Amino acid sequence: MKKSTKIILIGLVVMMMSVSAFARGKKSTITIAGSTTVLPIAQATAEVFMDKNPDINISVRGGGSSVGIASIMSGTVDIGDASRHIKNKELAAARKSGINIVEHIVANDGITIVLNNSNTIDALTLSQLKDIYTGKIQNWKELGGKNMPIVVVSRDVSSGTFEVFNKLVLKNAKGLNSALMLASNNAVVTTISTTPGAIGYVGLGYVTDKIKAVSVDGVKATEKTIQTKEYPISRTLQMYTRGIPTGIVKQYIDFVLSPEGQDIVEQQGFIRIMDDKNK
Amino acid sequence: MKSMKTFNEKLFKSITYLATLFTILCLGGIIITIFSEGLPILKYSKLNELFGIAWHPTSFPPEFGFLPLIAGSIIITIGALIIAIPFGIGSAIYISEIAGNRTKEIIKPIIELLAGIPSVVYGLFGMAFLSPFLIRIFRIPTGLNALSASIILGIMVIPIISSMSEDALSAVPKNLREASLALGATKWETIIKVVLPSAKNGVVGSITLGFGRAIGETMVVIMVAGGAAQIPSSIFQPVRPMTTAIAAEMGETVNGSPHFHALFAISIILFLITFITNFITEFVFLKRKN
């Protein structure tokens, strides 16, 4: 009997303490929502930023680029993430209601087309890629290579890499049903390196000497060609704010754009924005 | 003192009762969740569209045809059982009927060790070793296909079938075997005609359990099955089982979107399949008790 009373008492004390801990220290909060591609960048930079500024709390949600832009227009978030630029229509709607939306490019994103090392092909065009991924071209000999069926390797529909590829190469056409859909960049690398007829795509950082990167429309994917957008399968990722950011939102955006923030961007598999001196 | 004792008795009773209730509540909660999140897909797609042959959840407009996913799960599971049943029952017969006590003590734990290997390790093995091996042997374009997933899943299911069947075979009374041998039957005839039929229910139970394990396995099929949402025309083609679709796509779907509800609808199908198999297993076991 006594024991159980004790347990209840201890429980009550613990509960009261945790309640008071919540009540103490009012944190200022930044809310971020939008593109799931930008999500890992926002999440990782927010974690480091919160470690440095314990009195600031950042809540990061996904939802997609359109949700990010809609939320910044309705004012429900402080920062809206998007993997596409704001549309003219959206910009006009914002202006009409007197909102000034400001764009901050936080990272570059580009994907590399890779083949097995034994493949003789070195260059492809965007339209050839589209034909391969929609099943119009099915054998490497149609492209001047060996007589060998093409094994099309794609990524799961939920991945950001798939999203870029789908938009910039497939132009949202339906991909081949028989394409292998793999769960990670590493899985694609392993599969390409062990499958002679395979073609796949991965983030630039995942290219190793076990697989062969090909040029697209005559441009090889490098950090530089992606930054200058010379390489066709590249895009920028952005964060939108209402007006020029001030206060803690400015602090956070500045942190993302700082060299330290850009190191985090690279760790997440993206490409840093161009330094001012390189411009 | 006496009242203390009855209090403790009652306390113990209610604690065990609460533990049971909690388990049942969890099951109920899961069932309610998958049905309430899965059924709303009918608002977006008609039932006949859901059993279509195209799975393009992120195109415009999206297509949510479950058939390629169901076909993928079923072909891999059947393949796994074709591999696992002969090896599982064969090793069960050897351990229970033929091996001496010493051998039995060594072999049984080794086979059960197979069940303890994490599935992601099986997946790695399939991706890095089995898949290139199959490409060379069969001269096929890709080694990530229904066959390699079946082989890996089959190996994973062997210990389940083997160890449960062995228990069932060992439980057959000794005097049945002795009677059979005394009537002049050979050891082989005794095993096939007397021991196996008497242990039938346990053996069937082990197979249905293996079926449930194979159809519900996620990690291995994500890594090895290839993930192509198509109805395969041969075992050398990549497939996308239901578990792969759910696990690989749920992470990035927008909460409450048609795609989100479609994935829950797939989990309803998966749940019903495993529920029915478990029900059958239970039924087989109950029959034995009676």
What pLDDT, in 10s, does the model give residues A58-96?
Answer: 998 877 777 888 889 888 899 999 888 888 888 888 888
pLDDT greater than 70 at residue A12: no
Enumerate the residues of chain A whose CB falls inside 8 A of the CB of residue B141.
Answer: 148-151, 195, 197-198
Band (pLDDT 50/70/90 cuts) for residue B160 is very high
CB contact under 8 A, B226 and A174: no
Three-class SS string for chain B?
A: CHHHHHHHHHHHHHHHHHHHHHHHHHHHHHHHHHHHHHHHHHHCCCHHHHCCCCEECCCCCCEECCHHHHHHHHHHHHHHHHHHHHHHHHHHHHHHHHCCHHHHHHHHHHHHHHHHCCHHHHHHHHHHHHHHHHHHHHCCCCCCCHHHHHHHHHHHHHHHHHHHHHHHHHCCCHHHHHHHHHCCCCHHHHHHHHHHHHCHHHHHHHHHHHHHHHHHCCHHHHHHCECCCCCCCCCCCCECCHHHHHHHHHCCCCCCCHHHHHHHHHHHHHHHHHHHHHHHHHHHHHHHHC
pLDDT greater than 80 at residue A205: no
What is the amino acid identity at position A252?
Answer: Y
For the record, the structure tokens of A265 come out as 């961007």
Is the CB of residue B234 less than 8 Å away from at least one CB of chain A?
A: no
Mean pLDDT (whole number) for B144-167: 94
pLDDT greater than 50 at residue A1: no
Count of all residues that appear for chain A in the document: 279
CB contact under 8 A, B144 and A191: yes
From B158, B3, B248, B187, select the one nearest A157 (Cα to Cα): B248
- Nearest-Cα distance to chain A for B89, in Å, is 34
CB contact under 8 A, A195 and B59: no
Residue B146 main-chain phi, psi, to 5 deg: -60, -35
- CA-nearest residue to B241 within chain A is A181
Is the CB of residue B238 less than 8 Å away from at least one CB of chain A?
A: yes
pLDDT greater than 90 at residue A174: no
Of A275-279, B171-175, B275-279, least confident by mean pLDDT is: A275-279
Is the CB of residue B124 less than 8 Å away from at least one CB of chain A?
A: no
Band (pLDDT 50/70/90 cuts) for residue B278 is confident
pLDDT greater than 70 at residue A138: yes
- Nearest-Cα distance to chain B for A24, in Å, is 32
CB contact under 8 A, A63 and B227: no
pLDDT of residue B281: 79
pLDDT greater than 80 at residue A15: no
pLDDT greater than 80 at residue B2: no
In this predicted model, which residue has the larger pLDDT, A13 or B256? B256
Mean pLDDT (whole number) for A198-218: 90
Per residue in A29-40, pLDDT (tens digit) is: 999 988 877 888
- CA-nearest residue to B58 within chain A is A157
Q: Which of B144, B230, B243, B249 to mutate to test the interface with A (most CBs of A within 10 A)?
A: B144
From the list B141, B228, B248, the residue facing A149 with the nearest CB is: B141
- Nearest-Cα distance to chain B for A177, in Å, is 6
CB contact under 8 A, B248 and A36: no
Band (pLDDT 50/70/90 cuts) for residue A277 is very low
Percent of chain A with pLDDT over 70: 89
Numbered residues of chain A with Cβ closer than 8 Å to any chain B Cβ: 1, 36, 62-64, 67, 148-151, 156-159, 166, 172, 174-183, 187, 190-191, 194-198
Q: Which residues contact A209 (CB under 8 A, 6 or more apart)?
A: none
User: Which residues are paired to A115 by β-bridges?
Assistant: A199, A212
- CA-nearest residue to A190 within chain B is B128
pLDDT of residue A278: 47
pLDDT of residue B272: 94
Residue B255 main-chain phi, psi, to 5 deg: -55, 125
All structural domains of chain A? 29-108+236-267 (3.40.190.10), 110-234 (3.40.190.10)
Q: Which residues in A199-237 are b (16+ Cβ under 10 Å) and which e? A: bbbbbbebbeeebbbbbbeebebbbebbbeeebbbbbbb
CB contact under 8 A, A178 and B128: no
**Torsion angle (degrees, nearest 10) of CA A147, A190, A229, A71:** 130
From B221, B205, B65, select the one nearest B154 (Cα to Cα): B221
Is the CB of residue B203 less than 8 Å away from at least one CB of chain A?
A: no
pLDDT greater than 90 at residue B245: yes
CA distance A150 to A198: 6
For the record, the structure tokens of A170 come out as 């497939």
Q: What is the mean pLDDT of chain B?
A: 90
The answer for B226, left when phi > 0, alpha when psi is -120 to 50, beta otherwise, is: left
pLDDT greater than 70 at residue B71: yes
From B275, B230, B251, select the one nearest B66 (Cα to Cα): B230
Per residue in A216-256, pLDDT (tens digit) is: 999 999 888 998 889 999 888 999 999 999 899 999 999 99
Q: What DSSP element (H or E) covers A199?
A: strand A198-203
Count other Cβ atoms within 10 Å, centred on residue A179: 25
Is the CB of residue B257 less than 8 Å away from at least one CB of chain A?
A: no
CB contact under 8 A, B59 and A177: no
Q: Which of A38, A158, A176, A189 to mutate to test the interface with B (most CBs of B within 10 A)?
A: A158
Mean pLDDT (whole number) for B28-47: 92
Enumerate the residues of chain A whose CB falls inside 8 A of the CB of residue B226.
Answer: 180-182
pLDDT greater than 80 at residue B232: yes
Is the CB of residue B65 less than 8 Å away from at least one CB of chain A?
A: no
CB contact under 8 A, A158 and B253: yes
CA distance B49 to B64: 7
pLDDT of residue A275: 67
Is the CB of residue B144 less than 8 Å away from at least one CB of chain A?
A: yes
pLDDT of residue A26: 57
pLDDT of residue B75: 96
pLDDT greater than 80 at residue A44: yes
CB contact under 8 A, B59 and A174: yes
